[in-house]
Amino acid sequence: MPAGFDVDAYLDRIGYSGPRTPTLDLLNAIHALHPAVIPFENLNPLLGWPVALDVESLHKKMVAGGRGGWCFEHNTLFRNALEALGFPVTSLAARVLWGAPPTNPIGPRSHMLLLVTAEGRQYIADVGFGGNVLTAPLRLEANVAQPTPHEAHRLLPLDHGFVLEACINGQWSALYRFTLEAQFPSDYEVSNWFLCNHPGSFFRNTLLGAIVKPEGRYALRNTQLAIHRADGTEKRVLAGADALCSCLENDFGIALPETTELKTALKEVVRRDSAQAATQS
């Protein structure tokens, strides 16, 4: 068991109380529960606060503290839980293709995912990919559409690795590309620090939130809230910092940090979105 990891508290946090034998059923169960309870959010980078990846900090923030996090936090926490439950796990890294600019389609390895062995087979697990997060592990098997509780996904072979695609609105879209080369905590520290501190980092300048609910996926980008259901997408514009706070607390279940810095940052998010809307009208 990873030193200092409280697996009981983690399972309580995600609402799992079943058997703990490391089977595929257990992997499926906790993979579905994690992104339905612990949201993707980037409040720390937005506020200019550090993002720590050690076990104690992750437990304090995401398990005991009622917060969420981004991919490095989610999948490091998930890896610790999986290992505590007896699953063999290898940490991997991916280059994000979703939303990549056409002029720079191949970026750095800025995303973390996991390779998990269950009942003698290997699976891709990823509970930290924002609004398109997996809600079930995928067999490490190429060219096969695999159902999940939400969209179907598939792995396509590419350059000694794979591309993960999701079937969104009837179209296959690439999410990221990865290889099976094992990564180490120091590899993630580099990307984690860069994305948290570089002035041009998307995560420092954009408010993001995502969570999966029975009725669909909730995705927040600045003041724009989208609820993706099977029968279509509902969109809302949140007018003001108070509305953003309410959304983060009630729709995403985030225990907001008690600091005046948050309200200031959210007011700036609203100001920037309003200014952008004015220039486009």
Task: Please indicate whether residue 74 is annotated as part of the active site.
Answer: no
Residue listed under structure tokens 């992104």:
35
Written as six digits, the tokens of 75 are 């999948």
Catalytic annotation present for 71 = yes
Are 152 and 166 spatial neighbours (Cβ–Cβ below 8 Å)? yes
- Determine how many CB atoms are found less than 10 A away from the CB of residue 269: 19
Q: Residues 71, 74, 153, 247: which is the catalytic one?
A: 71
Helical H segments across 90-217, by residue range: 185-197, 202-205
- 12 in catalytic set: no
The active-site residue out of 31, 111, 153, 228 is 111
Q: Please, are residues 113 and 187 in contact by the beta-carbon 8 Å criterion?
A: no
Neighbours of 261 (CB within 10 A): 13
For residue 193, give every residue at least 6 positions away whose Cβ sits within 8 Å of its Cβ, in sequence order, or none: none
From the list 126, 150, 228, 273, the catalytic residue is 126
Active-site residues, by number, are 71, 111, 126
